[in-house]
Structure 1
């Protein structure tokens, strides 16, 4: 039965669209959730592993870059407690990042640098304007890119087993110059990993412990963490690469004995978490509730509103290369994207969230009081969302009843 939030015929079309992507081999399986005005609808299709167990609503997925909004929430908790300040230099807790040098040109040699014009701030990290990150150029095109591609820095697809402990990771990162001046330009990914180290040092707790104590436990996100307990490994989906080899999807990570079956040395604030659609529904409802979920307040309403507000200037958007003209209609808040201009039925102005390159997508829409979450276990092959993601959002929004 459909309530006032969604139409029955619209939900039927959503079901048909999602089932079709599994039946036609687009993804091995999926769990899709739409929630609006308190009404929740979940679609479960396919299998958690090819030829294996069926997918279930509580299947655990590697959510990759959906970790970034969680990391931003954790940072804002410390801001509200005055243990961090948005515009203070991070040098106090991250002395490795003091006195930065900046490449004279992004494609230049690593020793051709100039001094940073100012220190890196927490705001720079939250908005991905710290001056370092993944370059949108072919792999290995520039010296800094080759250096950033070192497995120990973990700036490619998530590989928890390859990255050293936080102190060693930040030491290695600090040996490299910045690519741009702090605050100058949006650059993807690396800032969120730095944030994880900063949160641990500012809180006095390991990053993973702070998240469990201050975010996951209060929100009831019982299946979210940086590793899956042995007792729950039968619920972890097998992860697959996005490009078939001889017609078969290659395994990216097994459940039993895989990289998420044990705690990592480096809990990545950019892409290390595993979770379920219901856990991310709880996170989304907290943000839509102005920082409160049930009787638990995680953040104040003003902090949530800031997180979900576009922080990029028009000049920064013009200077950013990300999926063609993406920043013509989107901005960036704290750890997530924000729709700034509507060009699609599923892109309400103010809708915020992000995607995970291993096959996940999650958004909150304050105007519609809506959360959408699509979790699959097939990796994306480019920053352009695959058809299953685009069809899911189209189907979710066409199901709105009013």
Structure 2
């Protein structure tokens, strides 16, 4: 493999450090990729499952969780470029379930202690995650709204298997019955905007989200293993998925292969986190974004659109309360994070991407001509990045010559 432009000795260091996570049994296996200009290095380590010799492979299919979000944003911007919908259009003609919003007077208010929304939600609100509703970053049952979020399986209240979600129409009706947590456009809130965005794409395009993505993104990019479920002929390429059980103080299976929730089509295709993919499929998507929308002779998006998507779209006030996600180094573009200052070796202003709660991280750095992707199947324990992510990014940037 050609690794000119990447230091051989530094890549050996990456191999040694990442191997330590497997040897210490912190995860059964992983796949990592670093691309610097035209040079690509892939590291495949460990096994698909603890206690099973079946090796991790380069074409292993991972549940990629929230790094679905940038793909969903690209799908939405394809519709914008076709003038099927505009950034500042109200979503209400397509999603009438979310019309005439009420907003809680405060996060701790009872559910009927509300004021009217000042305006309708727009596509821009969804892409910037400022629709006015999202994850409540507090212990369960701290606030009255949390009970219904959990009961209605809205999402944004901890990890959920795709088979546990209601169908799209039922989900929208339940979401529409809840008061909002903030005024539209007021502040960034995690998760739910991505799922509403997926529903909007389906309604505007007249296709399921998965079909639209396949025709407009996956097939043109050759992303043959990316979908919302794993078909029977590919199921042996799906690894087990683990979480750290604080009661037993050990790793337990969250989703196994034999009866995986990803074996069949989900009731609702989650634009916020439902896709499965491989390292090479996601690299094809990342490289398209690095090349400003181009893939060979195909133009998935215009250069201007990619530049808009990957530029900071939030004010400091809109980020307030989301420091656990952004720290002081990051903000949000359209459907993905954007680094705005350098706190770490790997925080380059303009670097964009995101992480997934199921143990995935993928960022693209235009200034360095670099893409980095790490896929594991160990659930993140908190919104702060696990050590394996931090180590991977430190090693990846350290390997560039």
Bin of the TM-score, shorter chain as denominator length: over 0.9
Q: Does 1:133 align with 2:134?
A: yes
Give 1:327 deviation, angstroms.
4.0
Q: Does 1:37 align with 2:44?
A: no
Q: Is the 1:127–1:334 Cα contact (8 Å) retained in structure 2?
A: yes
Mapping for residues 57-76 of structure 1, pairs under 5 Å: 57-76=58-77
| Map of 2:333 onto structure 1 | 333
| Map of 1:118 onto structure 2 | 119
Q: Is the 1:33–1:277 Cα contact (8 Å) retained in structure 2?
A: yes
Q: Does 1:185 align with 2:187?
A: yes
Number of equivalent positions: 399
With normalisation by structure 2, the TM-score equals 0.97
| Map of 1:342 onto structure 2 | 342
CA distance in 2, matches of 1:151, 1:378: 26
| Map of 1:93 onto structure 2 | 94
CA distance in 1, matches of 2:209, 2:322: 31
CA distance in 2, matches of 1:78, 1:366: 25
Structure 1: tracts of 5 or more residues without a match: none
Mapping for residues 162-241 of structure 1, pairs under 5 Å: 162-241=164-243
Mapping for residues 2-401 of structure 1, pairs under 5 Å: 3-52=3-52, 53-150=54-151, 152-155=153-156, 156-243=158-245, 246=248, 248-317=250-319, 319-323=320-324, 326-401=326-401
Name the SS for the 1:381 alignment partner: coil
CA distance in 1, matches of 2:336, 2:214: 21
Give 1:25 deviation, angstroms.
1.7
Q: Is the 1:63–1:356 Cα contact (8 Å) retained in structure 2?
A: yes
Give 1:84 deviation, angstroms.
1.0
CA distance in 2, matches of 1:80, 1:2: 37
CA distance in 1, matches of 2:3, 2:161: 42
Give 1:125 deviation, angstroms.
0.3
With normalisation by structure 1, the TM-score equals 0.97
Name the SS for the 1:20 alignment partner: helix
CA offsets 1:90-144 (integer angstroms, 9 cap, x no match): 0110111111111111110010110100100000000000000001111221111
CA distance in 1, matches of 2:152, 2:62: 22
CA offsets 1:189-232 (integer angstroms, 9 cap, x no match): 00000001100000010111101111111111111111001000
Give 1:5 deviation, angstroms.
2.0
CA distance in 2, matches of 1:242, 1:338: 29
Give 1:240 deviation, angstroms.
0.7
CA offsets 1:269-297 (integer angstroms, 9 cap, x no match): 11111111111100100001110111221
Q: CA 1:112/1:246 → structure 2, altered by over 3 Å: closer, same or farther?
A: closer
CA distance in 1, matches of 2:47, 2:162: 24
CA offsets 1:23-51 (integer angstroms, 9 cap, x no match): 11221110011011111101011111111
Moved more, 120-129 or 156-165: 156-165
Moved more, 116-125 or 250-259: 250-259
Give 1:151 deviation, angstroms.
5.4
Q: Is the 2:155–2:191 Cα contact (8 Å) retained in structure 1?
A: no
Give 1:10 deviation, angstroms.
1.1
CA distance in 2, matches of 1:170, 1:234: 34
CA distance in 1, matches of 2:23, 2:395: 17
CA offsets 1:354-377 (integer angstroms, 9 cap, x no match): 111111111111111111110001
Structure 2: tracts of 5 or more residues without a match: none
Give 1:158 deviation, angstroms.
3.2
CA distance in 2, matches of 1:382, 1:247: 16
CA distance in 2, matches of 1:49, 1:294: 37
Give 1:148 deviation, angstroms.
1.4
